[in-house]
Amino acid sequence: MSSTSLATSPTFVNGDVSFWFREVGVPTHRPALPGDVDVDVALVGGGYTALWTAYYLKQAQPDLRIAILEKEFAGFGASGRNGGWLSAEPPGQMRRYAKAHGQEAAIAMQREMFSSVDEVIQVAAEEGIEADIQKDGLLHVATNAAQERRLRERLPSLRAEGWGEDDLIELDRDQLAERVRVAGARGAQWSPHCARIQPAKLVRGLADVVERMGVAVYEGTEVTEIHPRRAVTVHGTVKATYVIRCLEGFTAGLRGHRRVWLPMNSSMIVTEPLPASGWEEIGWRGAELIGDEAHSYCYIQRTTGGRIAIGGRGIPYMFGSHVDQRGETKTATQLQLQTILRQHFPATEGVAIDHTWSGVLGVPRDWCATVHLNERTGLGWAGGYVGHGVTTANLAGRTLRDLILRQHTDLTRLPWVDRTVRGWEPEPLRWLGVRSLYVAYRAADRHENSGLRHTSVIARAADIISGR
Ligand SMILES: Cc1cc2nc3c(=O)[nH]c(=O)nc-3n(C[C@H](O)[C@H](O)[C@H](O)COP(=O)(O)OP(=O)(O)OC[C@H]3O[C@@H](n4cnc5c(N)ncnc54)[C@H](O)[C@@H]3O)c2cc1C
């Protein structure tokens, strides 16, 4: 089977939200907002950010009246489509947080990311959410000399940002092969702070839990405008002391928010279950999450059902911050991902692709996530997690709880709180900029694959221009 043609299974699906939802069943909508209502807190969007915020608020103050306003169904966005890395990867540039608030603040942020991974696991266990969670850590794998050097060179700054000796461990080629055999791998870094999850199971489980706690989850309820103390929906207006925007990659669709966060696309494919001989050849017995060090990097998980799910950039951005709704994915993107899959794991040659889908995540202009609450207007938000929202949304939920309940805690002092960032450039600059950036990153990857021993200057230039 050649990598130039797509090998799909007889049950292949393109889009329809995600494979994760296919596993649990794409849900019918909960009832929509019945008309105008008054609440204490209105959460706009029904992904992890809104659900964790609702969860912690209701736990802290059970009599709070909370409404979640979701356009489709809870988990329809990135929360039900992601790669399932419950990781402690920083949701932004730690050097920027450090520059603005000092190194100690950046370290505190990183430590909170570590503990948030365990917090999610613990709550899921306590609340009976079965989401295929297994914490075997995360492998960053280098497959060429430039990637290997990059991995080694970034270690000192990671150590300075709070990654201690036990938080990040260097593996040589043989040590890596004891965990998993990635073709051409030269070495890796392993962190214990990551768990594999099934995203749709986590988000649907959370939605059920908050509903049982008394949170009103209105689905099929699109919010068209947000103002101080009210959210206007297609079914009526919600008056609220606090209106919190939890839309991440969909933020640009809200009137007046087009340039706040860039909706960055990410696409995935999942294989059919691999035969036992394939797993034997790959030698991947645990549930480690795997990422390579390419500039147009990929993220990989072994699913509970013995499949490999792999994601990457595909078409990174659509003109005018347009977002595709149900995740249909272009053939060229599927082919790119299939090629990476076969390169990394030759044992998958002959294993068909069973599902492909895409989603959007939010990227702020300075590539640093933020959480914010304006006491005067009652407006708040969290997001811009730059592809690391699975864990960060939990931290955001606990931070928004403290901000809304006016408690000054370690969380409200973290450097991502109340950070102001300028918006993205108007079109066509935005489209041209992002498109050129990813053309440059792909060119840099090709250079590095052809034997370069250091990071390509093209990638360095692209990083400077993009502000990454
Ligand atoms: C393909 C992919 C892979 C990813 N992989 C990972 C990963 O492995 N690890 C990781 O940490 N992060 C990953 N991410 C990022 C992560 O999934 C997100 O950052 C996170 O889920 C964001 O959660 P959220 O609740 O803020 O937003 P979302 O989950 O996107 O929720 C926003 C919700 O708002 C709803 N909505 C949109 N417009 C409106 C409106 N006008 N009114 C009402 N509701 C509206 C949407 O339907 C959606 O349900 C990935 C993202 C994608 C797309």
Helices (H), ranges, 180-238: 199-212
- C-beta of residue 221 within 8 angstroms of C-beta of residue 74: no
Q: Spell out the SS3 assignment of 4-28.
A: CCCCEEEEEEECCCCHHHHHHCCCC
Q: Separation of 281 CA from ligand 1 center, angstroms? A: 35
Distance between CA atoms of residues 394 and 421, nearest Å: 22
> Quick one: pLDDT at residue 3?
54
Q: Label residue 457 exposed, middle or buried (CB < 10 Å: 0-12, 13-18, 19+).
A: exposed
Structure tokens at 300: 């990989």
Q: Separation of 206 CA from ligand 1 center, angstroms? A: 14
For residue 34, give Cα distances in angstroms to 44, 183, 222: 16, 55, 13
> Quick one: pLDDT at residue 1?
41
For residue 406, give Cα distances in angstroms to 68, 241, 259, 330: 21, 13, 29, 46
- C-beta of residue 45 within 8 angstroms of C-beta of residue 393: no
Contact residues for 99 (Cβ-Cβ < 8 A; gap 6+): none
Q: Which CATH superfamily is domain 23-94+200-260+366-413 in?
A: FAD/NAD(P)-binding domain (3.50.50.60)
Residue showing tokens 């909706």: 263
Amino acid at 242: Y
> Quick one: pLDDT at residue 39?
98
> Quick one: pLDDT at residue 399?
98
> Quick one: pLDDT at residue 437?
84
Helix pair 48-60, 389-404: axis angle to 10 deg: 40
Vertex 94 angle, CA 93 and 98, to 5°: 125
- C-beta of residue 25 within 8 angstroms of C-beta of residue 16: no
Q: Is 243 in the pocket of ligand 1 (CB under 6 A)?
A: no
Q: Is 390 in the pocket of ligand 1 (CB under 6 A)?
A: yes
Q: Is 88 in the pocket of ligand 1 (CB under 6 A)?
A: no
Q: Which helix (H) or strand (E) holds 137?
A: none
Domain boundaries, the chain: 23-94+200-260+366-413
Q: Is 397 in the pocket of ligand 1 (CB under 6 A)?
A: no
Q: Is 400 in the pocket of ligand 1 (CB under 6 A)?
A: no
> Quick one: pLDDT at residue 376?
97
Q: Are strands 262-271 and 308-312 parallel, antiparallel or unpaired?
A: antiparallel
- C-beta of residue 251 within 8 angstroms of C-beta of residue 365: no
Q: Is 219 in the pocket of ligand 1 (CB under 6 A)?
A: no
Q: Is 299 in the pocket of ligand 1 (CB under 6 A)?
A: yes
Helices (H), ranges, 345-456: 389-404, 429-449
> Quick one: pLDDT at residue 2?
43
Q: Separation of 49 CA from ligand 1 center, angstroms? A: 8
Residues of the chain falling short of pLDDT 50: 1-2
Structure tokens at 295: 């500039």
